[in-house]
Chain A
Amino acid sequence: MWAEPLPEDCPPSEAWEPDNEVYYRLIDGYPPTPRDFFSVRKLKPKRNFRDASECETLGLSVFNDIGTCRNAGKLAGLQHKQVAKVTLPPECGAVLQTRGPRHYSWWLKADFDPVSICDPL
């Protein structure tokens, strides 16, 4: 079961269960809260995302490189956020590189607590 209802063929078949892989996510602040791991679809249910599939909007954006994450945090819409490290175990869900070489989408499993593996930096 996934944290949010996913459409058919989501996550894509190429997505994989991470093997304690390190990624970086921008969170609203310390301490992290479950809301930091809500998908953009959950936060904006009526929003039309022209260039993103429904499956992608239900994934969480993470980067596999802290520099890229910090760089993204310079944009106006993300400046208020803080970089956090997440080490993803297999039971957390599935990941797939989706945008650029360092951006990944993470589809979260329902019975996994992402706050527990979140390390604000």
Chain B
Amino acid sequence: MPRPLRHAQTLVYYDGPQLIVATDPVGTKYLCMLTEELEERDKFVCVAVSSTRLTEFKDGTLDLLQIFYNPETGELHEGDVEYSADEFSLAVEPVREIPEHWYPQEGFFLAPREDAETVTAEARVRGKAVINFAFNPPEARDALQIEVQHLASGLQIFQNLLRHAYNKSIRGLNRATRELLSDKINYQMEVFGFSEGSFTVNMQSKLSTNDLLGSVNIEKALRLVDDAVAASSDLDRAMRFLRDNTGHFLTAYRSLLKFVVDNDSPLRYEWATPGFTVDKRSTMSVDVATELYDFLVRQESLTTELVTLIGVVTAIHTDNGSWTLRSEEDDLKYSGKVPPDSPIRLSGITVLSERYQFDCEERLQEFTATGEEKIERLLLNYKKL
């Protein structure tokens, strides 16, 4: 009985789809290749593929001929796409053997970034930055399933990383510009879909492009994350990068590394803004993430951030050493504590009337199960202004 297949992804397009990924009603993936163009229909030959084999092929490490010559199920299928159908409908049946000219020639490798759909094209269409973030934990490699926790916390961790990368990228700007750019809409992403047949999450920036060059503000954050991942290819370079980028960004980066390690899910994402001509792609293996994570865990000082707050103290609690200050810079309240062994005494501080400068050390606490964050703020020094 013919098995109906649905088009999932075009891998090679040349005057129409030549090589596609299709799925059957129970989610089995097939690689289907156009063989002949007949009157009113196209003939395809298809082979069922596991997720692992498909990933190998998409990574450019597996010859297409091997996939068709040595099918994992021992079977090939053939079927027609009827031109008159309202949608791409391919009904296939097993076939014992196929003509020699239906096989691909030896040496067809799908080079990385050769697949037919690009993030750049998507970004142009949407007028926004687009990120495709791939999850590949063990449970997703041979079946289309992923633990809810993996998906939810992974997305939250990545969004947190973008937030801290963005804030870091605008820190050096003057106050007026920083205020203009500090709204969270500048770094927030929203999910608009999944790449079919995979757990690659398609996200777009909330903001659209803001100039004729097609740039989007979140680009600053993504470039910093790219720099972090690129540096990971060489240990010395990675250590230098980590030391040059201390603070909350590094804490958020450490969370991402921990996610990769704990879930055995290699990091893989690609992105573009409307102004790009090619996608930017970053990957990191679990082994590399493990090495960097272990280093960061041993170097707690790299993840602290020194901040100076100037404003009026609105509350102090001498019994537990806690305090609150309203910052003149952004009119927000900041709370913290005096470290347990510190000689600092809050009893000398005048509340609600005098201006103070508080020098603090901030440490980001992440709850990786939920992706939530909390800042621990310790007062190192203060003076009345």
Contact = CB atoms under 8 A, between A and B. Distances in A.
A49 B101 CA distance: 24
B83 A77 contact: no
A76 B104 contact: yes
B206 interface: no
A59 B124 CA distance: 18
A68 B104 CA distance: 15
The B interface is mostly helix, strand or loop, or mixed, namely loop
Given A14-B124, A76-B33, A100 B113 contact: yes
Contacts of A47: 16, 42, 81, 83
B107 interface: yes
Given A71-B108, A74-B104, A79-B101, A51 B124 contact: no
Interface stretch (A38-46, A86-94, A113-121): A38-46
B139 interface: no
A15 B118 CA distance: 16
A93 to B, nearest CB: 16
Contact of B83 (A48, A52, A60): A48
B15 A40 contact: yes
A46 B150 CA distance: 44
Nearest to A73: B105
Interface residues on B, range: 35 or more
Interface in A88-117: 97-103
A39 B14 CA distance: 11
Contacts of A100: 113-116, 118
Nearest to A60: B15
A44 B17 CA distance: 13
Given A77-B35, A99-B116, A102-B114, A72 B85 contact: no
Q: Which of B13, B84, B104, B279 has the most CB of A within 10 A?
A: B13
A82 interface: no
A108 to B, nearest CB: 13
B87 interface: yes
A51 B113 CA distance: 18
Contacts, number: 115
Given A61-B13, A79-B105, A50 B7 contact: yes
A32 B374 CA distance: 68
A101 B117 CA distance: 10
A86 B83 CA distance: 30
A14 B275 CA distance: 10
Given A72-B18, A76-B35, A98-B121, A52 B105 contact: no
Interface in B248-301: 277-279
B16 A72 contact: no
Given A44-B83, A61-B15, A72-B14, A77 B118 contact: no
B376 interface: no
B212 to A, nearest CB: 12
Interface string A23-55: 000100000000000011001101111111000
Given A74-B104, A74-B106, A99-B117, 20 more contacts: A26-B14, A43-B15, A46-B40, A51-B13, A51-B88, A51-B116, A52-B16, A68-B114, A71-B109, A72-B14, A72-B18, A76-B45, A76-B102, A76-B104, A77-B35, A77-B36, A79-B104, A97-B121, A99-B13, A101-B277
Interface of B: 7, 9-10, 12-19, 33-37, 40, 42, 45, 64, 81, 83-88, 101-109, 111, 113-118, 120-121, 124, 277-279
Which 7 A/B pairs are nearest by Cβ-Cβ distance? A77-B34, A50-B88, A74-B105, A74-B108, A40-B15, A46-B83, A47-B83
21 contacts: A44-B37, A47-B16, A47-B42, A48-B85, A50-B7, A51-B9, A51-B17, A57-B16, A71-B107, A71-B111, A74-B64, A74-B107, A74-B108, A75-B33, A77-B35, A79-B104, A97-B277, A99-B117, A100-B114, A100-B118, A103-B14
